[in-house]
Amino acid sequence: MKKTIMMLLCGLVFSLSANAQYRYRPPFGQDKIYFATALSGVDLRYNGSEKWNIDLMGKAGYLFEDNWMLLGQAGYDFRQKGNNAFTAGAGLRYYIEQNGLYLGAGANYVHKHKYDDFLPSVQLGYAFFLSRTVTIEPEIYYNQSLKSHSDYSGFGLRLGFGIYLE
């Protein structure tokens, strides 16, 4: 009987000490890695020269500090009229942890047949967690063309799916 009580007491002590080792990780905590894919266009984007297009974008990021992420992205724009375009860029994102909103800023290089441009960009989005690591991220963005403001600057809506890995 003494051995059984002693074993139960040891088990209780070990389980409490193991539970004390658990550390809460915030959803946008430091040292997390982020991967995402996003879809834009499909008449959810407007600029002066194009009325219909689809953008597919891949993103990768690293949370270097709680709520601060460095991003790299690459994408391909399919256009109904004219030449398709390739984009590559980098950015910074800040998460407002209380509600999942984020603010982003970045720059993209756009290349298509006989046309190159540089587009500074700002974004406002929301990270809605489907599980502990998977998100749906609707986002509103504005791209400012440095080459032709009236033709290539524009705003739009982007829908993305993200994965946050520890």
Q: What pLDDT, on the 0 to 100 scale, is given for residue 70?
A: 96
C-alpha atoms less than 13 angstroms from C-alpha of 29 in its C-beta half-sphere: 9
Check if the beta carbon of residue 27 is closer than 8 Å to that of residue 162: no
Check if the beta carbon of residue 79 is closer than 8 Å to that of residue 102: no
Q: What pLDDT, on the 0 to 100 scale, is given for residue 20?
A: 47
Helix, strand, coil distribution of the chain in percent, nearest 5: 15, 60, 25
Question: Which residue positions in the chain have pLDDT lower than 50?
Answer: 19-21
Rounded CA separation 85/36 (Å): 20
Closest CA to 166 of 59, 15, 30: 30
Q: What pLDDT, on the 0 to 100 scale, is given for residue 15?
A: 59
Q: What pLDDT, on the 0 to 100 scale, is given for residue 77?
A: 82
- Give SS3 for 148: coil
User: Can you read off the two tokens belonging to residue 90?
Assistant: 């980098």
Q: Alpha carbon of 50 to those of 44, 57, 108, 140: distances in Å? A: 12, 18, 18, 18
Rounded CA separation 95/97 (Å): 6
Rounded CA separation 39/42 (Å): 9
Check if the beta carbon of residue 54 is closer than 8 Å to that of residue 77: yes
pTM to 2 decimals? 0.75
